Amino acid sequence: MLRVKYLGHYSMVRGMRVEEISLDAPTTIRKLLEERLGDALDWDQTIVLVNGRPVSPDYKVKDGDVVSVMPFIGGG
């Protein structure tokens, strides 16, 4: 089981703030998120953390990972 947290407007795109996903086959962050967020996903302006640490889109997710996907913000 894998948990994905959607922050900011990604929670509206996905229609939920947290999603639990069971992995049938190994997959990358890129594939996982592109399937779920489609065109709304702008990699240049997005931070993806796995267990609190930044990862590249090619990171292979595994059971137990907590993925957080969030837009860049400007810090006010």
Contact between 10 and 34 (Cβ < 8 Å)? no
- Interface with other proteins (CB under 8 A), residue total 25
Residues 3-62 that bind other proteins (CB under 8 A): 5, 7-9, 11-12, 17, 40, 42, 45-47, 49, 51-54
Tell me how far apart the terminal alpha carbons of the chain are, to the nearest angstrom.
Answer: 36
Of 66, 65, 63, give the one whose Cα is nearest residue 23.
Answer: 63
- Tell me how far, at minimum, the Cβ of 33 lies from other proteins, in Å: 15
Closer by beta carbon to other proteins, 21 or else 40: 40
Contacting residues for 41 by C-beta, under 8 A, at least 6 apart: 10, 33, 34
Interacting residues with other proteins (CB under 8 A): 5, 7-9, 11-12, 17, 40, 42, 45-47, 49, 51-54, 68, 70-76
